[in-house]
A = this chain, B = another copy of it.
Amino acid sequence: MARHTARDLRSENRFEVLHALFELGPSTRQELARHTGLSPATVATLVTEFLSGGVLHIAAVERNTGGRPQERLTIDPDRGRIVGVDVAETYVDATVYDLALGALGHGEAALDEHENDPDYVVDGILRVIESAVEDGGTERERIIGVGVSMPGHVHPDTGVSVFAPNWDWHDVHIEKMLEKVLPVPVYVDNPLKAVILSEMWFGVGSVVDSMAVVNLGTGVGAGIAIDGSLLRGTTNNAGEWGHTLLELDGRQCRCGRRGCVEAYLGAPGLRTTLAEIDPEHPTLRQSRQRDFVEAVADGLAAGDPALTGLARRTSRYLAAALGDLVNLLNIPSVTLTGWTSDALAEWLVPALRDELPHHVMPGSLPGLTVEPSRVPGNAVALGMAAFTLQQFLTRLGLASPAGTRPRPDPDHGIDRSRQGQRL
């Protein structure tokens, strides 16, 4: 049985304070204690630790009549730089952030979907990091860590891409390959874990503590948080909503099974639906996925009837598949993210909302919100930067006298101390 030890609580409390600072902006110790529900003594200890690690600085000192001067604390953005990287099937996208997770520089490049050599992918990652660093005018020695999201099944503790079906990768030591070249700690995880972390820190996480964020791109999946904790599952493989059934024995999915949600809602699935509606439609001539989806958005804006039919059918598939997610988990919030969502949400969401009541159980419908994520920028890159910040704070804690060494969870072989299991 997993147990909450004093160490876990300490890390959790640390992240609670950090989280509160992101939500509240510059705050007094009292405000942090009130917002987090932690005791003033705990907040004082953590603030002292953060101040000595240079993570916080004093933004202002307020002198109220009669009382002691109150220090207003804030994250020191200049304590370091973090790079968040979103590696997808068709592109690499990197952002340089300051320590307060403000974006400073950005880089991106297309990946050839048909090239699966790990060296090719690693080379692409390094080049895009380089261009983001240049774009931000970042001094390299100030980078404290790099967080990289990789598609497929990733083991964050070992930094291994266990299985990436799009490249047919098995057990590729991606973190090791990157750390050979980059002189800073590298953290690897899966986009579903990254987007839910973003949502918890910078999206609906400020109002709910259970939620799903659905990532729509080449593949589709859901990041899930329950009662304020990211759901990882036994092997960090939770959230594979894209590989739940829409239709037993339906369309062939690239996972090998038939009828998965992804075969209908992933970008190639949209193409299949359009081909069913009109096999001669000119948009089908776009061979690259992102060009195809952009052309669909353009055609929808122009009122193309076949594409309007595509949007209607896709909204219905999405409503059905989100209905399953809500019926199973009874969560109060689902947000949409990913590049397909960015391009098509304005066409999909209104019809989706009309369809949802036909798929969600009546008892789970009141109060349910379904909306595009309001997390700014690339939610995957931001989530990986947030992971990297957590790791940095955990390492800071290790250096402090009260800290103890994190050790791997004996149950599952995943070192949860590296993963911010609970924020």
Contact = CB atoms under 8 A, between A and B. Distances in A.
A330 B259 CA distance: 19
A228 B330 contact: no
B228 A1 contact: yes
A231 interface: yes
A294 interface: no
A353 interface: no
A234 B367 contact: yes
A163 interface: yes
Interface in A238-253: 238-241, 243-248, 250
B331 A245 contact: no
A233 B245 CA distance: 22
A52 B331 CA distance: 41
A371 interface: no
Given A3-B37, A163-B363, A243 B320 contact: no
A1 B423 CA distance: 11
B244 A327 contact: yes
Contacts of A359: 257
Interface in A250-265: 250, 255, 257, 259
Central interface residue in A224, A243, A411, by most chain B CB within 10 Å: A243
Interface string A191-207: 00000000000000000
A2 interface: yes
Contacts of A246: 245, 248
A355 to B, nearest CB: 11
A234 B361 contact: no
Given A231-B226, A234-B330, A243 B361 contact: yes
Nearest to A246: B248
Given A2-B209, A247-B247, A327-B240, A332 B364 contact: no
A329 B1 contact: no
A291 interface: no
Contact of A245 (B227, B245, B329, B332): B245
A328 to B, nearest CB: 6
Contacts of A243: 327, 361
Contact of A238 (B2, B237, B330): B330
Given A2-B228, A5-B37, A247-B248, A364 B240 contact: yes
A232 B330 contact: yes
Given A241-B327, A245-B245, 9 more contacts: A163-B363, A234-B331, A234-B332, A236-B330, A245-B247, A245-B324, A246-B248, A248-B250, A324-B324
Interface of A: 1-3, 5, 36-37, 153, 162-163, 209-210, 222, 224, 226-229, 231-241, 243-248, 250, 255, 257, 259, 317, 320-321, 323-325, 327-332, 358-359, 361-364, 366-367, 411
